[in-house]
Amino acid sequence: MGLFSKLFGRSSKPESESSQKSSSRKNAAPQPSEHFTITDLVIVTAPLGNVKGTVLDEAVIRSCVSSVLKNNGTKVNNLIVDAMKAPFEFLSTGYSHNTERGYAAVVRDNSGTNTELPKDRRVLIGSAGYVRRATTDLHADISAIVNRELPVDSTLHLAAIDGIAYAAIVIKREMR
């Protein structure tokens, strides 16, 4: 390689050799990428029994979770939003996200009997350890998922509305 080739980054290799290298890179196996799936989704509409004011319609629970997670469009959040199939579009305000704690927002529920006087619901979605400290005792169905041994490639998210856990979601991460 001559002096000018070194200075200007030119290669003295024939073009056919460099084009062979670029075509071999195109034929190389694609790099694996992250894929997420929901392995468990439990929604409990009456986690405290029939205590007045704590029973929520499943559509409201799904819409609250979806409304908060739409604020941060990660792969996992988009997967959960799609799985929720939320029938209502609720406005969320006061949104915050902390990687250790999770997601929080105030959601304006204007469904059903709340159409004329919307109800603000405080929604918290995050790790079981964090959300559990901010809620009442867990319903048996949700507690069963929280207390079970999860595979290393899975994470558990709890969704609480007004201090009551209504949903548990297990996400599996794999490389393909």
pLDDT in tens, the chain (176 residues): 555 555 555 555 555 555 555 555 567 778 888 899 999 999 999 999 989 999 999 999 999 999 999 999 899 999 999 999 999 999 999 999 998 889 999 999 999 899 999 999 999 999 999 999 999 999 999 999 999 999 999 999 999 999 999 999 999 999 88
pLDDT for position 32: 87
**Token duo for residue 173:** 């991460």
In a domain, 17, yes or no: no
pLDDT for position 19: 55
Find the DSSP H helices in the chain: 3-8, 15-27, 58-69, 75-84, 128-133, 140-147
pLDDT for position 37: 95
**Cα gap 120→110, rounded to integer Å:** 9
In a domain, 23, yes or no: no
* Residue 118 belongs to domain with CATH number: 3.40.1110
H helix or E strand, kind and range, residue 60: helix 58-69
**Cα gap 23→154, rounded to integer Å:** 38
Instruction: Give the chain's domain count.
Output: 1
Nearest to 171 by CA among 147, 143, 145: 145
Q: Which domain holds residue 75?
A: 34-137+157-167
Query: Is beta strand 154-161 parallel, antiparallel or unpaired with respect to 34-43?
Result: unpaired
Nearest to 95 by CA among 135, 119, 125: 125
pLDDT for position 89: 93
In a domain, 13, yes or no: no
Characterise 42 by phi-psi region: left (phi > 0), alpha (psi -120 to 50), beta (else): beta
